[in-house]
Amino acid sequence: MLRRKFHLPHIASALGHFAFHVAMLAAKGGLGGETPTEDGSLTLRFAFREDLGKMTYTTMCIKESLRLFPPVPSVSRYLSKPVTFPDGRSLPAGLLSLFIFHAAPLFLPQIYDPLRFSPENSAQRHSHAFMPFSAGSRNCIGQQFAMNEIKVALALTLLRFELCPNPSMPPTPIQQLILKSTNGFHLHLKKIH
């Protein structure tokens, strides 16, 4: 079980939710031969910067987990006036909750689908439709570091272990400053090597 043993609680939250999603997807046979460690070219050696840039499927999986469970569920930025999108959907003036915004059924359904973040699908979406690190001039300056940290931690884990979910104990999210699971992340690890 992943607990609050990481230095940054928002990274721990993202890692926990992502690991649980990967385990659930694998258990349902939904990885389709692809794994978040890509084509098997990663080894147990140190992951270099070039390797991280090649992990496109991993990046899509991470973004989908961040969409469903953003580590920081709301931002303290207010819309000064209502915003209406070209397709008719709108956001009222006031606080923006990323947890609600990313999970709106009319916008992005509650189905875990990493291909939602393929280059083709991303190109069809408004640039601010996905904002796990906020957006604009006041976005998180550590977002690239956070994405790389998640990739390294999970790639090294998935190279050593198979993650198996415990479906009887799914994470129960609770919104605080950091989105957490009230009951942790219950996974079984099966050693690969």
The verdict on whether residue 164 carries a ligand-binding annotation is no
Dihedral angle of Cα 75, 151, 64, 20, to the nearest 10 degrees: -100
Residue 137 corresponds to which tokens in the numbers above?
């001039």
Residue 114 corresponds to which tokens in the numbers above?
């990493």
Long-range CB pairs of 164-171, under 8 A, 24+ apart, other chains included: 164/23, 164/26, 164/27, 164/188, 164/189, 164/190, 165/20, 165/23, 165/24, 165/27, 167/24, 167/27, 170/20, 171/16, 171/17, 171/20, 171/69
Strand-pairing partners, residue 34, are none
Q: Which residues are annotated as a binding site for heme?
A: 140
Q: Which residues are annotated as a binding site?
A: 140
